């Protein structure tokens, strides 16, 4: 089991109890009065049987509050995802913080920022790099790249999943579009792993047929589910943080109701992926204050009231086109706000420009970031031993603590020393090779590629994986999608 980081203090709460109640009751109101569109007759039948008021013409299910409450109650507050290597399995929930890799559609050149279609080799190298980074605990769907050179778009998810099974032993999230869940489930099972299933809503207040099908399929395989509903404040959702919180909550809880009605007790991690709309261009604004506030409020409601594990995607991306100060300025405040407010998982490593670009060099730098944040949430111990009055007295007003045995014994636990950041003296730097953190990360990446060899699939598993990919290709050809 991967340990992740354990938060040893109460999460920051930015809402008082009456505000939490207002957001929750607003959410119940939306689900009962406005309802939620499920684009699947099978899902609607399940919900009708559960007691929802279903209009089969509009496909809208109105969900009474008692059903929502029951489904929240039947969702466990923690659950496990089994990885190919059982030591890499994860347990979401409680005070544990994990990090998930980010993703991008294209390979981003570190120097120029030019994006190009990633090759399979670039993809595999990026997987290996993240497999080697301690702070990457989980891979999302279509990671690291959404598309791959020479791979038909409809096969990009299954191929990406297969590459993760081949080049990493860590847990992976499945995808949902165009029946990809069939192949990804088979791939994971062939590799002896579970997937974190994936059911993503289509804001506002609807779930596509693909997503419903994915829900049934993943649940049938006994996999826990990652739920999400991309939310754009001022676009698919209200511009106010409070309004967007209510409508986003309603979307996720509607999905919780479906999943718990199909398979009561199934594990769920609920993702907050909110962005603000750039009112000048209509693009997504990453890393803004409103997004941080939305996520913090969300973490509080889901963590303290619903007791359902939460993931935050706000720090996965930046609007910067290159790996630069803006990337850090947009990603890090959000990641820290997420960690302090009780997120169980944060998406961070490697995402550069929106969902457009990814580079493993940034993942290497983000490893230091994640470890620093993890060290912060672990807090520190206050005891006679750690205060060390005797040590303070011994040093008095003239000595140094450097020579105290406690310093040598405790310094590594009391702090995290980043591996990549430049911590040399100015003199050394000036007289040396003047490497930037990006150049140092590039060196580290090469070291990883030369030395890190993830446990390969067995011969039988590899044959099975290839067979599943061939089967998927045949399936999509028959459907005219290749």
Partner 1 sequence: MDSRERFLEVMRFGRDVRSLKWEFGYWGKTLKNWYSQGLEEKDYPAIPTEISTFQASLYTAAWTGQWQKKGSKRGGKIELPNGIGVWGGGTYWPNQGFPLERDAGRYFGFDKSTVLAKVEQLLCPKFEIKVLEEDENKLRYIDLDGVERIYLKQEATIPTSMKWPIGDWESWEKIKRERVHTDNLSERFPPDWKDMVKIYKERDYPLCLGGYPLGVFGTLVHLIGYEKLFFYYYDQGKLIKDILNTFTDVWIALWEEVLSQIDIDCVHIWEDVSTGTASMVSPATFKEFMTPYYKKLTGFLKSKGVDIILLDTDGDCNELIPLFMEAGITGLYPMEASAGMDVLAARKKYPGLQMMGGIPKSKIPLGKKEIDRFLEPVEELLKHGGYIPYGDHLIPPEVPWEDFCYYREKLNRLIDQNGKV
Partner 2 sequence: MEDILEELKRAVLEFDVDNAHDIAAKAVQQGVDPLQAAKALTEAIRIVGEKFGSGELFLPDLVCASEVLKKAFPVINEEIEKKGKKQESLGKVVLGTVFGDIHSIGKGMVSTLLYASGFEVIDLGVNVKSEVFLDAVKKDNPDIVAMSALLTTTANEQKNVIEGLKKAGLRKKVKVIVGGSPINQEFADSIGADGYGATAPEGVKVAKKLLEID
Q: Which helix (H) or strand (E) holds 284?
A: strand 284-285
Separation in Å, CA 420 to CA 363, 443, 446: 11, 10, 13
Q: Which does 14 bind (CB under 5 to 8 A by kind): partner 1, partner 2, none?
A: none
Residues touching partner 1, count (CB under 8 A): 26
- Positions 199 through 238 that interact with partner 1 (CB under 8 A): 219, 222
Q: Are 261 and 77 in contact (CB under 8 A)?
A: no
Q: Which does 144 bind (CB under 5 to 8 A by kind): partner 2, partner 1, none?
A: none
* Strand ranges across the sheet with 115-116: 115-116, 106-108, 357-358
Q: Which helix (H) or strand (E) holds 295?
A: helix 289-300
Helix (H, G, I), strand (E, B) or coil at 458: coil
Q: Kindly provide the b/e burial profile for residues 434-464, where b requires at least 16 CB atoms within 10 angstroms of the residue's own CB.
A: eeebbebbbebbeebeeeeebeebeeebbeb
Q: Does 65 bind partner 1 (CB under 8 A)?
A: no
The whole-angstrom separation of Cα 257 and Cα 268 is: 11
**418 upstream amide cis, omega within 30 of 0:** no
Measured from the CB atom, is 248 or 444 closer to partner 2?
A: 248
Q: Which does 266 bind (CB under 5 to 8 A by kind): partner 1, partner 2, none?
A: partner 1
Among 101, 135, 249, 260, interactor with partner 1 by CB under 8 A: 260
Q: Are 92 and 269 in contact (CB under 8 A)?
A: yes
Binding segment for partner 1 (CB under 8 A), chosen from 86-94, 203-211, 389-397, 419-427, is: 86-94
Measured from the CB atom, is 20 or 80 closer to partner 1?
A: 80
Q: Does 70 bind partner 1 (CB under 8 A)?
A: yes
Helix (H, G, I), strand (E, B) or coil at 277: strand
Q: Does 264 bind partner 1 (CB under 8 A)?
A: yes
Residues that bind partner 2 (CB under 8 A): 105, 115, 117, 142, 146-147, 152-154, 156-157, 177-178, 180, 202, 206, 208, 210, 232, 234-236, 239, 277, 279-283, 354-356, 481
CB of 170 to partner 1, least distance (A): 16
Measured from the CB atom, is 263 or 353 closer to partner 1?
A: 263
Sort residue 473 into left (φ over 0), alpha (ψ -120 to 50) or beta: alpha
Q: Does 381 bind partner 1 (CB under 8 A)?
A: no
Q: Which does 265 bind (CB under 5 to 8 A by kind): partner 1, partner 2, none?
A: partner 1
Task: Give me the residues that bind partner 1 (CB under 8 A), please.
Answer: 1, 6, 70, 73-74, 76-80, 82, 89, 91, 93-96, 219, 222, 260, 263-267, 307
């Amino acid at each position: 089991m991967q340990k992740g980081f354990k938060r040893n203090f109460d999460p920051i709460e930015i809402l008082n109890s009456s505000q939490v109640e207002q957001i929750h009751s607003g959410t119940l109101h939306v689900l009962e009065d406005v309802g939620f569109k499920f684009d699947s007759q099978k899902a609607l039948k399940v919900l009708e049987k559960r007691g929802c008021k279903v209009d089969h013409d509009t496909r809208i299910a109105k969900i009474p509050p008692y059903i929502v409450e029951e489904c929240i109650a039947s969702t466990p507050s923690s659950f496990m995802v089994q990885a190919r290597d059982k030591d890499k399995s994860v347990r979401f929930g409680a005070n544990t913080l994990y990090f998930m890799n980010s993703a991008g559609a294209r390979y981003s050149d570190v120097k120029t920022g030019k994006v190009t279609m990633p090759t399979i080799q670039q993809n595999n190298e990026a997987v290996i790099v993240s497999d080697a980074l301690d702070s990457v605990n989980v891979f999302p769907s279509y990671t690291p790249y959404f598309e791959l050179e020479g791979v038909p778009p409809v096969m990009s998810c299954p191929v990406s999943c297969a590459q993760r099974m081949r080049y990493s032993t860590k847990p992976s999230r499945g995808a949902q579009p165009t029946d990809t869940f069939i192949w990804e489930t088979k791939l994971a099972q062939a590799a002896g792993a579970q997937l974190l299933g994936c059911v993503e809503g289509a804001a506002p207040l609807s779930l596509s047929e693909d997503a419903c099908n994915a829900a049934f399929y993943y649940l049938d395989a006994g996999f826990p589910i990652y739920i999400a509903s991309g939310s754009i404040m001022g676009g698919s959702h209200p511009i106010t943080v409070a309004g967007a919180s209510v409508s986003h909550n309603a979307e996720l809880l509607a999905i919780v109701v479906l999943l718990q009605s199909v398979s009561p007790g199934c594990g769920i991690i609920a993702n907050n992926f909110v962005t603000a709309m750039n009112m000048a261009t209509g693009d997504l604004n990453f890393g803004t204050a409103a997004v941080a506030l939305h996520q913090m409020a969300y973490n509080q409601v889901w963590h303290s009231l619903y007791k359902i594990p939460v993931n935050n995607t706000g720090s996965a991306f930046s609007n910067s086109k290159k790996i630069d100060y803006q990337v850090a300025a947009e990603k890090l405040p959000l990641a820290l706000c997420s960690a302090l407010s009780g997120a169980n998982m944060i998406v961070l490593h490697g995402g550069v420009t929106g969902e457009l670009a990814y580079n493993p060099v940034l993942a290497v730098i983000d490893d230091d970031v994640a470890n620093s944040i993890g060290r912060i949430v672990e807090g520190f111990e206050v005891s006679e031993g750690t205060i060390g009055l005797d040590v303070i007295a011994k040093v008095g007003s003239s000595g140094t603590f450097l020579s105290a045995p406690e310093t040598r014994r405790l310094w590594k636990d009391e702090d995290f020393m980043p591996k990549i950041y430049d911590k040399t003296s100015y003199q050394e730097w000036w007289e040396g090779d003047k490497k930037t953190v990006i150049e140092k990360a590039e060196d580290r990446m090469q070291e990883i590629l030369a030395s890190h060899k993830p446990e390969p699939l067995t011969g039988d598993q590899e044959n099975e994986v290839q067979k599943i990919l061939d089967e998927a290709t045949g399936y999509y050809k028959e459907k005219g999608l290749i």
